[in-house]
Amino acid sequence: MTKERLKLDNQICFPLYAATREMTKRYRPLLAELNITYPQYLVLLVLWEKDRISVKDLGKKLYLDSGTLTPMLKRMEEHDLVKRTRSTEDERVVEVILTKKGKQAEQQAEDIPLQFLELTNLNEEESDQLKRILAKMLNQLGEE
Amino acid sequence: MTKERLKLDNQICFPLYAATREMTKRYRPLLAELNITYPQYLVLLVLWEKDRISVKDLGKKLYLDSGTLTPMLKRMEEHDLVKRTRSTEDERVVEVILTKKGKQAEQQAEDIPLQFLELTNLNEEESDQLKRILAKMLNQLGEE
DNA sequence: TACAATTAGATTGTACACAATTTAATTGTG
DNA sequence: CACAATTAAATTGTGTACAATCTAATTGTA
């Protein structure tokens, strides 16, 4: 029995990695009518809860840095979903706000979470457990 | 109560997405001495179990297509970890095998799974549950 | 046996990710 | 107040991801 722990089937991280990508793949058609990607959808989720947020705070919520967010937000701006403006109080800060189109997208997105959940075939208990364990893991890994 | 389901905290997919990225970030230092990325590590995991595999079968195991694998395997070939050869029986097929260096890397990698598990702070029950639920989800999302 | 259909990889183009560095603005301290 | 240290974004460079398309080899069938 050589290196049992190095077998793909014994990994925790592999199903995590693979399921995430399959998940984004399944989101694609759901997001197609909004013409956005899954990470862009996450940005919108944040903005729908709290319109006007700095790139830094957005990054903190989504665990993304400016290297990812800056070009992504520029693309979203080109698609007229958000607007980026320098804060007048602190010129270093860029604030992101929704455009009218970005706000309206919320209506269209309303059914997406449920539509996706149906695809997963997870029951409520599993879905709750998954959420809880991932949150714990994320919390642990995310901090120093 | 407006669009409760669209809140970031109520999403299943967001912690999945974020935890996966934090996970790869944590793997980076563990893989640094091997000078490989996490996806490349997965390729090695497969090859350590079964040396010589076609790009197609590798892709089936890892849920990756040739658009991702071809350039990645070329990089791994440049780093002298694997070799790619056209099958003589079917010239369409490219087979991937380990180099000596690629084989030796297994020894160095031996402790990585355990090292990572310690970082997660998950107990065995949680880790098993996570694995089980993700496998179910992956299985469901991956087919069709 | 021709040859259309299929198959395996490679290629192209777009969009993340993220480490590392740079730039510009702000803050803290002597 | 001067100016070093810090901070927020932007930039650069590398490496995935993946849809869509292309190329070459193989297969199935008229």
Sign of CA dihedral B122, B120, B17, B140: negative
Q: Number of residue pairs across A and B with CB atoms under 8 Å?
A: 176
Mind listing the pLDDT tens digit for each residue in B87-127? 999 999 999 999 999 999 999 999 999 999 999 989 999 99
- Range 25-84 of A in CB contact (< 8 A) with B: 25-27, 38, 42, 45-46, 48-49, 61-63
Near strand C (CB < 7 A), which residues?
A 24, 37-40, 63-68, 71-72, 75, 89-92; B 17, 21-22, 24-25, 28, 54-56, 59, 65-67, 69-71, 73, 84, 90, 92-95
Question: Which of A13, A49, A119 is facing B116, going by the closest CB pair?
Answer: A13
- Range 82-121 of B in CB contact (< 8 A) with A: 106, 109-110, 112-114, 116-117, 119-121
Residue with CA nearest C1' of nucleotide D26: B90
Mean pLDDT: which of A44-53, A115-124, B4-13 is highest? A44-53
User: To 10 degrees, what angle do helices A38-49 and A55-62 make?
Assistant: 110
The reported pTM is 0.94
Distance B26 CA to D7 C1' (A): 25
Domain B33-113 has CATH 3.40.50.150: no
Domain ranges of chain A: 33-113
Q: Which of B105, B53, B59 is nearest to B84 (CA)?
A: B53
For B79, the token pair is 């780093």
B1 contact A CB<8A:
no
Interface probe for A, chosen from B130, B143, B144 (most Cβ of A below 10 Å), is: B130
What is the pLDDT confidence band of residue B64, given thresholds at 50, 70 and 90? very high
- Rounded to the nearest integer, the mean pLDDT of chain A is 94
Cβ neighbours of A127 in B, within 8 Å:
12
Mind listing the pLDDT tens digit for each residue in B3-31? 788 888 888 999 999 999 999 999 999 99
| Contact: A120, B137; criterion CB under 8 Å | yes
What is the pLDDT confidence band of residue B1, given thresholds at 50, 70 and 90? very low
| Contact: A142, B116; criterion CB under 8 Å | no
Give Cβ neighbours of residue B141 (< 8 Å, ≥ 6 apart): A19, A22, A23, A25, A26, A119, A120
Helices (H), chain B: 13-32, 38-49, 55-62, 66-78, 100-109, 112-120, 124-142
